[in-house]
Amino acid sequence: MEKILSDFLEMVRADAISRDERKVADILLAKLRELGITEVYEDDAGAKVGGNTGNIFARLPGTLPGAIMISSHMDRMPQGFGIEPVIENGVVSTKGDTILAADDLGGISAILDGVRRLKESGKPHCTVEMLFTICEEVGLLGSLNFDYKDIKSEIAYALDSPGHIGRIILAAPHSAKIQCEVFGQAAHAGSEPEKGKSAAVGAAKILATLREGRLDHESTSNFPIVNAGGTATNAVCDYAIIKGEARSLDKQKLLDYIAYFEDHCKKTGEEFGVQIKTEWSLGSPGFKVPADSPSVKLMCDVFADMGVDANPEAGGGGMDANRFNYNGLQSVGLATGYFANHTTNEHVFLDSFLRTGEMVEKTVLRYSENLESYKV
């Protein structure tokens, strides 16, 4: 079994979740030591977000000028406990009752394999900076709480995108959390329902007429959490809450949708006769990296060297690259061969995944040998 695959299988079997990445972090730290990486530290981001693990930063010093950063995150979505990987017909999946956590342990495995290849090759290279973050799945909190002051790189790559190797995510959306509280009137449901006003029905009317899902080619919204405060069938429900999110590659479109949501909830509530309270907060900032930028050009050249078709395009999900760009690091996302992440159908195509370590190695070497061609 190839080392990159055995690393991956070992880490996915280690139970973890956002704010509890300790088991994965300990395995990762041991593997970095095995690779002879001595510049390693764990920061205090975990304490800041109520977790038991910090971001792990590692640096492989180079003999050539320049530095490049490669990143992946250690946490995973829920339903990621007791993962039992299944390998069949060139695909790694699960038994269907858990996620696979290739998002984003596939990225960590690729980075480890790329560094292993670099060291075994003995070729001169620039400094390689590695950042393994926590709490990416709950608002990019690890990269939000990382101190970037000692970063030497100008370019960073987040190995954290679905798709076959060759996919380059050069844009990701701005996001916002949105909610609507609905206040009705309690009453006995059998004796005097006329005196009540159901908050649950009010919430249903709001959702039934709300524009949601795919809003346009740059924007989406989703409202999966609907809770009503009723505790008995003989009482008219007097409270309900709707929680969701919206995203857009265009920040103004995001703000326009929030304004529409507030107006829609208010008008629907007035028509039905319930009180409404809406709240929202912006999440991670979006980014758009031009297709002719150094970070994208570098990856297109690397994929050409590998005989892989490059596919630069915008993505619909956030990633740590959002934070990196905000902090002055030109960053794009790279696919590592996984699909259907965030679901129990998550799976990895080995023909893509097994080449991701090669991708990391060639990215570092090409950047090292042609530094002036990829200056930001």
pLDDT digit string, tens, across residues 111-164? 999 999 999 999 999 999 999 999 999 999 999 999 999 999 999 999 999 999
**Residue 334 neighbours by CB under 8 Å, 6+ apart:** 157, 158, 159, 160, 161, 167, 168, 169, 299, 359
CA distance 48 to 42: 13
Which listed residue (75, 103, 129, 346) is catalytic? 75
Rounded to two decimals, the pTM is: 0.90
Per the DSSP assignment, residues forming a β-bridge with 277 are 181
Provide the token pair at 340: 């259907």
pLDDT of 1 above 70: no
Which listed residue (21, 104, 136, 137) is catalytic? 136
Look up 2 and say whether it is catalytic.
Answer: no
* CA distances from residue 165 to 3, 75, 309, 323, 338 in whole angstroms, order as listed: 18, 22, 8, 23, 9
Q: For the chain, which domains are there?
A: 3-172+286-374 (3.40.630.10), 175-282 (3.30.70.360)
Instruction: Give the number of residues written for the chain.
Output: 376
Q: What confidence score (pLDDT) does residue 231 get?
A: 82
CA distance 78 to 151: 31
Q: What confidence score (pLDDT) does residue 326 get?
A: 94
234-253 residue pLDDT tens? 999 999 999 999 999 999 99
Neighbours of 115 (CB within 10 A): 24
Look up 75 and say whether it is catalytic.
Answer: yes
Q: What percent of the chain has pLDDT over 70?
A: 100
